[in-house]
Amino acid sequence: MPINGCNLRQERRDLALVALAGPGANLLMGVLWVVVHLGLAFLDTSWWLALPLIYMGTTGVFINVLLMVLNLFPLLPLAGGKVLDALLPPAWSTKFSRLEPYRLILLQVLLVTGLLGSLLLAGN
């Protein structure tokens, strides 16, 4: 989503904070799905809608955590790339920003080679 940096007080820092809103929303939704899953798991599962909602809660947690981790990948224009760009010294930030036109190619290479999957699932 395009953001006008002129409306921000400290452009680099504030752009990183705005970029973290997406992964933060994924984290919040994942936590809400955990609450749904655990709340229904303690109820009587003979209720006809309990089991489908438990499965939906499990899927909601998985999808939102996966999207959060993917969005935090340090590649522009993903949120992780914007945060990394804000943390880098200005000279390095300029060099890092030059990779942005190649982001789709880099992401596809990581996906096709399987590196993206192994990076995202490195904790397992």
pLDDT tens for residues 77-98? 788 888 888 888 988 988 888 8
* DSSP 8-state code for residue 123: T
> 95 vs 11, 91, 92, CA distance in Å?
18, 7, 5
For the record, the structure tokens of 63 come out as: 């999808």
Q: How far apart are CA 27 and CA 65, in angstroms?
A: 7
> Considering its fold, how many domains does the chain have in total?
1
> pTM for this structure?
0.74
The tokens of 37 are what? 């899953």
Task: For the chain, give the mean pLDDT.
Answer: 83
Q: Which domain holds residue 65?
A: 5-120
Question: 53 and 61 in contact (C-beta within 8 Å)?
Answer: no
